[in-house]
Structure 1
Amino acid sequence: MVNKSNESATGPHNVHYQFLRQLPEPCPHILLKICNNNWTTGDIPPSWREALVVPIPKPGKDPSDPSNYRPIDLTSCLCKTLERMVNDRLVHVLESRNLLSKVQIGF
């Protein structure tokens, strides 16, 4: 899952995907066990649920008006990796059981 990730901004912990990709053995397997345990128990570490919210000004808008900003939340790369794993598992189940409508688009 980490190898599928694009380089993106880190969340509050400053753990980069590049760091996760360079983990020596057996660390990736330990990370997988942690994610599988989180999946099984539904227990997500509170620190993984934290986000750093950064206001980004909308292009061509007056930056002195607070309504002309959009919030971007920077979350933990570990949490994003877990989210990607959950998404892949759900999509696999839905597709393998033919539960998605052929006309379904978007979300």
Structure 2
Amino acid sequence: MAAEINDSRTLYRTTKTLANKNINRECPIVKDKEGNILTSKEDQLHRWTEFFSEPQQVTNDIDEVPTSPTENCKSRIATRAPSIQEIKQALSQLKTGKATGPDNIPAELFKIHPENIAQLLETIIKSSWETEHIPSTWKEGLIVKLPKKGDLSQYKNWRGITLLNTINMTINKIIPTVIQKKEYQMPLNRLWEKNKQVLGLKDHVSTKLILSE
């Protein structure tokens, strides 16, 4: 039935259950960096926090950040607040059927009445945009740990994904739309390539890094 209606999520779970390969996200044995077993919940939680707080490795082959001329260009970035139409476009791009973040607001709720939601968000986002202040709650995320192959008592065999607030994801969709407008005097692909070279970023870097700052 799930395959007939293209419900890939239910199909995946059913297949895993029938194959007796249910994913267990709980780790009964947790060890510290020295290999000692942590028995208390507090110690385990502290170790998980420490693990996910460790800086991620980013390869950067550039010794120092180059300082190149501005090529006699004026401001290349559109600094105006997003319009209602741009917000509606961002709402249409939100993926449904996903787990919610700390706000517990599913994307489906934002997509029910996009016109009304866009008008409401336009006031909120414009205020934040013009004051250059992002509420701390917008930047919150829930880290969910997922197992990889290997000994699950070793933290290196786990990875984490961050579930963001829906308004955060909406802004992530808005920013590329705004900066690709005609205010740019340099082709976006050239500017993006220059930024990747300067910052040493990979293609998977998301605009949420902008919000985290």
TM-score by length of 2: 0.43
Structure 1 counterpart SS, 2:118: helix
Letter in 2 for 1:17: A
Q: Deviations over 1:33-92 (max 9, x none)?
A: 21222222221122111111111112x222221111111111101111012212221233
The one of 21, 33, 45 equivalent to 2:111 is 21
Query: Equivalent residue for 2:167?
Result: 78
Q: Please report the RMSD computed on the Cα atoms of aligned residues, expressed in angstroms.
A: 2.6
Query: Equivalent residue for 1:65?
Result: 154
Structure with greater contact order relative to length (CA < 8 Å, sep ≥ 6): 1
Higher strand share: 1
Evaluate the alpha carbon distance shift between residue 68 and residue 93 of structure 1 in structure 2; reply closer, same or farther with a 3 A threshold: farther
Is residue 97 from structure 1 mapped to residue 185 from structure 2 by the alignment? yes
Structure 2 counterpart SS, 1:63: coil
Q: Which runs of 5+ in 2 are unaligned?
A: 1-89, 197-202, 206-213
TM-score by length of 1: 0.79
* Residues in 2 aligned to 1:102 and 1:52: alpha-carbon distance in whole angstroms: 32
* Residues in 2 aligned to 1:67 and 1:15: alpha-carbon distance in whole angstroms: 31
Larger Rg over CA atoms = 2
Is residue 47 from structure 1 mapped to residue 137 from structure 2 by the alignment? yes
**Count of aligned positions:** 105
